[in-house]
A and B are shown apart, each in its own frame.
Chain A
C-alpha cells in the first residue's frame, strides 16, 4: 500500500492515472506548474507538428503550484511509468523553489515532498539572492512539509480519500480533449472545484488584472528590463543549473530528449531565470517569454490574470512553441 507522490492532489492523480493507462498514446509530455497546465495546449502543438510530418502526440501533465522542485519529482514519476514510445519531455524553467506559504500543511502540498525533493530545495534555496530570513524560513517549510508527509501528520483522512475515491475524481480536469490542458477560462465556470472559494478567487484575480493597468504595466516593464539588461556574462544560479542538468541527463540516459521552456508571465524574476535557461544545452531551449519578441502575451486581450494567459493567449503560445519545436526538430533531423 505505497502511496504515489501525487496522492494529495486530485488533479495530478487524475492526470497521472490517465497517463499510466494511456501511455502508449503519447510520445511527449509537458511538466511544470500552472504556466504550463494553463498555457500549453497539446492539441495545437500536435496539429502543427503533425502537419509538418512529425510523429508528435503530447500530454500535459503539469499541475498548479509546482515549482522547479516538484517538477523534478514529476519527472522521476514520469520516467518510472513504462512507455517505450516516450521521446520528448518538456521541463519548465519558471520558478525558484519558493511557494505560497498559504499552501503549507495542505495535503496537496505535503504529498509532493520527499527526502529527495527536500534535499533539492535545500541545495537551491541557500544560493538564492534573498535575505537570510526568507531563505531560512523556506528551508524550514520544506523540511516540515517532508516530515508531515513522512509521518502523514494530520493527513490520514486525505489518504483514505485517495484510496477510496480516486476513481470518482472529476474527469473535467483532463480537459475537453483529454490531453491535460485546462485553461483558466474553463476553470472559472467549473462548478466542481476542489475548494468552493477558488472560483471567487480566480474571478477576483481576473477583475483586478483588467482594472489595475498600472500593476499590469509595471510587471511587464520589469520583465522587459530583465531581458534588456541581460548580458551573456550574467552568472547563472549554479544549484538551479545543476538540477536542470540532472533532469536533462536522466532523460538522455533513457534516450529521451528534454526541452527546456522559458514561459511568459512568470512570477519569479527573469533576471534569475534567464541565465539558467541560457546555460542549458543548445537545441533544447524553447523561449516564449521575451515581451519584445512576443508582445501579445503581455496584452490584456491575451491575459487572464497578472501571471496567466487566457485561452486565446494559450493558443498563441502553443503555436509559437510548436514553431520553435519544428525548427529544433528539423535541426536534429538534419544533423542525424
Chain B
C-alpha cells in the first residue's frame, strides 16, 4: 500500500488504511523509539535472567502492536502455526510425514502473505487479462483491496518459514518452549525490516541469558548512530531529489535521469542498510549478534558479487531455500540460466506485488545470466591467454565496480516506477497515467546524453546549499566505506585512541542533530 505524505508530492512506503491514512508505528528515527529503547534495555537487564525472553516478547508485541494491534494478532497466528508445525514435525519419524507439517507451515506463512500482499495483484491481473479477451468479469470489486498489509510481513513470514524448513531438513531442532520461539518471531530489532534472521543463529542466543556489558553497549550505540546517520542525513535528504525526478518523468532527460537513478539506488541503500545498522546495534546492546545485511555493495566487482553484498539475509535465504532446491549451478547451463532469472524474478515479487518491480529484478537476473554464460564460455576459454591478460589490464577492478553499478542503475530505474505512478495518479486523478508511460519516457530519454533537462530545477527546489551538503555527506559515506573495508565501523572506532574515537562519534551525532531530517519519514523497505 502506498500513500502520499503531507507535502503532497513525495512518496512514502508504508502501510495505509483504506482511506489512505498512513499507519505510523514506532520508527527507529522517532522520538517514540528514543524513549522505548532505554526503557526496554532497563527492563531487559533488570528482570531476573530467566525472564529476559519474556521482556523480548513483551517488547516485540508492543513494538509491532504500535503499528496496529491487528498486526500483533497476525504475528501471534504465524508464531503458533510455525511452533506447532515444527513440534509435530519433530515427533514424526519419516520425512514423508514431516512434509505434511512443513506444508501446513508453508500454507500458513505463504497463505497470509499471499492474502495480504498478492491477492489484489492477482485479481487485478486476472481482470486485465480477461479484458484483453473481452470477457466480462462478473466478480464485484473485491473486498480485500482495502486490506492493510501488515508492516514487514514479508520479513516476518520468511524468517519464521526458514525455521520450519530448517527443522524439516534437520538443520535445527524444533524449539520445545513456546516462549523462546515467540521471542524469536517477536524479536523487534529485525521484525519489520530485517535482516531475515535464521533460527539456528538467533534462537540459541535468545535461550541464553545476558548480562549488561559496557563494550556491547558502546559497540551497539556506535552502530546505531552510523545507521541513523545514513538514514536521516543521507537517505531522507536524497528522497527529495528522487521523488521530484520521478514525478517530473516527462521533463527529465539524459544526465538528470542517471543522477536520479543513482540517488535512488543510494537512497535505498542508505535507508535500508541504515535501518539494518540500527537493528544490529540495538540487538548488540542487549548482547545478541544479528547477521550482517550489507557489505559495501557499491564496491562490488560484478552483479553476482553485488548480490552477496546487498540485502544478504534475503539473497542467502533465496539461495538456500530456492536456488539450491532448483539445482543451483550443478544443472545444465540452460537450467542455471533459468534458475538465476527465476530466483531474481521471485526476489522482485517479494519486494512488491507489481510488474515494474518484478521486471526490474528479472532484468538484473538476465544480466547475471549473461555474465554467467560469458564467464563459463568466453572467459573460461581464453584464460590465461594474452587476450585475457590484456583485458584484465585495461579493465581493472574499479572499472568492474562502475560497470556493475551502471547496470544496476539501468535495471533499478524501473524499481521506483510503480510508486511514481501511484503518486502521479494521486496528484492528478483527472488523467490516469500507466506505469508503462513513465517507464517509456525514462528509458526513452536515458541515453540523451547531451541533455540534462530539469537538472537545475531539481537542485534549486531544495536549494544549492542542501545539494552541496548532500554531496559532501555522500563523499563521507564512500570514503568511510573505503577506509574501513570489511571491518565493522564500531570496531574501527573503538580501535582509535580515546580522543579521536569520541571526536568522530561527536561529529556523527552533530551531523545527525543538525543535518538530519526528523519528519517521521518512513523507511523505504517498510512495504515489503
Q: Which A residues lie at the B interface, using CB under 8 A? A: 101-102, 104-105, 144, 148, 151-157, 160-161, 164-165, 195-197, 200-201
Whether the pair A105, B515 counts as a contact (CB closer than 8 A) is no
Whether the pair A157, B463 counts as a contact (CB closer than 8 A) is yes
Within the complex, the shortest CB–CB distance from B34 to chain A, in Å, comes to: 12
Whether the pair B466, A161 counts as a contact (CB closer than 8 A) is yes
Q: Could you say which residues of chain A place their CB within 8 Å of the CB of B9?
A: 196-197
A45 CA to B469 CA, complexed, in Å = 46
Using A102-B7, A197-B9 as known contacts, say yes or no to A153 and B516 having CB atoms under 8 A apart.
yes
Q: Interface size on B (CB < 8 Å)? A: 21
Given pairs A101-B6, A154-B516, A195-B461, 16 additional interface contacts (CB within 8 A) = A144-B31, A148-B518, A151-B513, A152-B513, A152-B514, A153-B514, A154-B232, A154-B514, A154-B517, A154-B518, A156-B515, A157-B515, A160-B465, A165-B463, A196-B457, A201-B8
Beta-carbon nearest neighbor of A157 in chain B: B466
Q: Could you say which residues of chain B place their CB within 8 Å of the CB of A152?
A: 513-514
A201 CA to B463 CA, complexed, in Å = 21
A148 CA to B520 CA, complexed, in Å = 14
Using A105-B519, A153-B516, A154-B517 as known contacts, say yes or no to A164 and B7 having CB atoms under 8 A apart.
no
Beta-carbon nearest neighbor of B518 in chain A: A154
Pairs A-B, 7 closest by C-beta atoms: A156-B514, A102-B6, A105-B519, A157-B466, A197-B9, A154-B516, A154-B518
Beta-carbon nearest neighbor of B511 in chain A: A156
Most buried by B among A154, A156, A165, A197: A154
Main secondary structure of the interface of A (DSSP, over half): helix
Whether the pair A157, B465 counts as a contact (CB closer than 8 A) is yes
Beta-carbon nearest neighbor of A195 in chain B: B7
A155 CA to B466 CA, complexed, in Å = 11
Within the complex, the shortest CB–CB distance from B143 to chain A, in Å, comes to: 31
Beta-carbon nearest neighbor of A100 in chain B: B6
Q: Could you say which residues of chain A place their CB within 8 Å of the CB of B463?
A: 157, 161, 165
Within the complex, the shortest CB–CB distance from A40 to chain B, in Å, comes to: 29
Within the complex, the shortest CB–CB distance from A136 to chain B, in Å, comes to: 15
A105 CA to B469 CA, complexed, in Å = 19
A161 CA to B466 CA, complexed, in Å = 8
Q: Could you say which residues of chain A place their CB within 8 Å of the CB of B31?
A: 144
Q: Could you say which residues of chain B place their CB within 8 Å of the CB of A195?
A: 7, 461
Using A154-B232, A157-B463, A160-B465 as known contacts, say yes or no to A197 and B8 having CB atoms under 8 A apart.
yes
Q: Could you say which residues of chain B place their CB within 8 Å of the CB of A101?
A: 6
A234 CA to B7 CA, complexed, in Å = 39
Within the complex, the shortest CB–CB distance from B462 to chain A, in Å, comes to: 8
Contact residues, B391-441 vs A (CB, 8 A): 427
Within the complex, the shortest CB–CB distance from A207 to chain B, in Å, comes to: 11
A101 CA to B5 CA, complexed, in Å = 12
Q: Could you say which residues of chain A place their CB within 8 Å of the CB of B457?
A: 196
Choose one: A104, A148, A165; the contact of B465 (CB below 8 Å): A165
